[in-house]
Chain A
Amino acid sequence: MTETDGWRRLHPLTPVVRGGRLTIALCVVLFPELLAGRRSRPILIELAVVAVLAGLGFVNWLVTRWRIDGDDLRIETGVLRRRSLRFPLTQLQAIDIVRPGLARLFRVAELRLRMGGATGSHARLAYLDEREVEPLRARLLALASGAKHDEAGPAVQAPAGRVLATVPTGRLVASILISDAGVVFEAVLAGLVVGAVLAPSAVSGILGGGAAWVITVAQLVWRRFNQEYRLTVVDVPDGLLVRGGLVALNAETIRPGRVQAVRMVEPFLWRRLGWCRLEVDVAGRQRAEGEGRSDRRSLRAILPVGSRATADELLDHLLPDRPRALSPAPRRALWKSPLRYRMLGWGRTDTVVMTRSGRLRRATNWVPLEKVQSLRRVQGPVQRPLRLASIYVDTAGKTVHAALRDRDVTEADGALEDLVALARTARAPA
């Protein structure tokens, strides 16, 4: 167990890839001017800036090194403020492989180690040679699981599990087009086009104001497409391996024990086609430092679009013991939530609670009781005369809102008692 490697550096192309967009922008700006052959002062200044930045990137690469030291992964970095990071592999939760567009171009990849503990910090090894990444991942995982690491080399092969689900591109496109955001986007676009034909002068004004909004929505749609392109779920020994992506490739392992909540969303138009979307809330990912915006989302779609049967199969892997039947809300709840009424329902087993709600789109949540943070009973002024009450099941993060809405008061009180007791037993270490 006390095997120790020497210090190693990251891939030499790291500064180029890290500088990513900056590099591209500089090339775009500088090349035409260089080709035009204008040898004026500004170009010298720009070159100096480039040289300094490149130098800094190079120095940063030069002083960054990592090693596996027994059960720890150690990373040292920094020139002026030298930082020595130590990540105990026993706390390792999962290793993701992230490959942004530029990194793929240069055949490098980032290894992201998600650590457990209260902080949920990440260790990043960016960037490593593409061929090096898989064996290293396997080796780190082997060390983490406490397996005796033989001198012979990597004992654990890259897992080749069964493919559980994959998303055809055509269906993904169709699903995005008829999703909630997609429909709104199309309506706005159609409105603009019609407007442009009928009253061109008015549209320019609208466009000026709405452009930012349109771009935001377009970005949203694009990001979804980019992340979920050819998403594949593979059954591996330690959980579900989710990989996919168009420009940036992602591979993430979801361990059932880390799942805080599972959500199934069925937008209005999707239900006609029997489609649904399955998302998983994974633990300890709130606001880790130094992460991009796209990393901060804690909901991970494991099935961007698929049939109920596929979703059920995935759920079987994540939450084997989950409630099958829902008990509907009492009829008088119709007065309080006329739009939601048809969707409302909840069910539980001894380990998982399931709730369903939604107005136009139907959202079903599953929360493992051992992950419940707190429970709340709320009764509002409309609910009181109807003798209704809601129980909220709070989970870590802000993304999943599981609630037993509009239940009969006695049922709600009983459910609260039950859930509190069950959550206590589920939480207690076996």
Chain B
Amino acid sequence: MRDQWRHPSPRLLVLRRLEVGVPALAVAIGLGITAALTSAWVGVGAGAAVVAGLAALPFVRRRWAAWGYAERADDLLVRRGVMFSRLSVVPYGRMQFVDVTAGPLERIFRLATVRLHTAAAASDARIPGLDADEATRLRDRLAELGEAQAAGI
């Protein structure tokens, strides 16, 4: 059966790239200044930081592309991860609560993370980088479905 997979917002990719790029750039600039003041050898470190930052970008993209979720009739599928690919199946009836969080950076990008909690500590189903409207829609939808299908422990 084909599932209707949805993916996090493209703005999450921008955010993730910034999260890698800005620290790399900061290190490079710091090392560059140090190189200008002391020996040119330190400049190699600055170059390495830039290269590492650039090399990481494709991986960031792949990780972003790996996130996905699908709302099926009875359960929510969440998949993630490139190195370790994970697929969680969380039945709506097992959801205890859903929370939506948005950190300061996420808020700047109008993103939010939806997290599902079941009675199992290991379930770990979260979907980051959803558009704020989509996050609200998903939360309401899940809450509705959870209520309709609630099962005891």
Contacts and interface: CB of A to CB of B under 8 A. Distances in A.
Interface in B95-142: 96, 118-125
Interface of B: 74-75, 83-91, 93-94, 96, 118-125, 151-153
A394 B83 contact: no
Contacts, number: 78
Interface stretch (A61-69, A301-309, A377-385): A377-385
A311 interface: no
A427 B151 contact: yes
Interface in A389-430: 392, 394-398, 401, 416, 420, 423-424, 427, 429
23 contacts: A116-B152, A286-B119, A371-B153, A373-B118, A373-B119, A374-B90, A375-B88, A376-B87, A376-B122, A376-B124, A377-B86, A377-B87, A379-B86, A381-B83, A394-B123, A395-B120, A396-B118, A397-B119, A397-B121, A398-B121, A416-B89, A420-B89, A429-B151
B152 A394 contact: no
B61 to A, nearest CB: 18
Contact of A374 (B74, B84, B120, B152): B120
Given A118-B96, A373-B120, A373-B123, A424 B153 contact: no
A379 B91 contact: no
B122 A398 contact: yes
A320 B88 CA distance: 29
Nearest to A384: B85
Given A374-B90, A381-B83, A381-B84, A394 B122 contact: yes
A374 B125 contact: yes
A121 to B, nearest CB: 13
A280 to B, nearest CB: 15
Interface in A267-326: 283-284, 286
Interface in A106-122: 116, 118, 120
A120 B119 CA distance: 12
Nearest to A117: B152
B151 A374 contact: no
A122 to B, nearest CB: 15
Contact of B94 (A373, A378, A380, A416): A373
Nearest to A379: B85
Nearest to A116: B152
A24 to B, nearest CB: 37
Contact of A420 (B75, B85, B93, B120): B75
A260 B91 CA distance: 17
Given A373-B94, A420-B89, A424-B91, A394 B120 contact: yes
A376 B89 contact: yes
A378 B84 contact: yes
A299 to B, nearest CB: 14
B79 to A, nearest CB: 9
Nearest to A371: B153
Contacts of B120: 373-374, 394-397
- Identify the interface centre among B89, B118, B123, B125: most chain A CB within 10 Å of its CB: B89
Contacts of B87: 376-378, 416
Contact of A375 (B74, B89, B124): B89
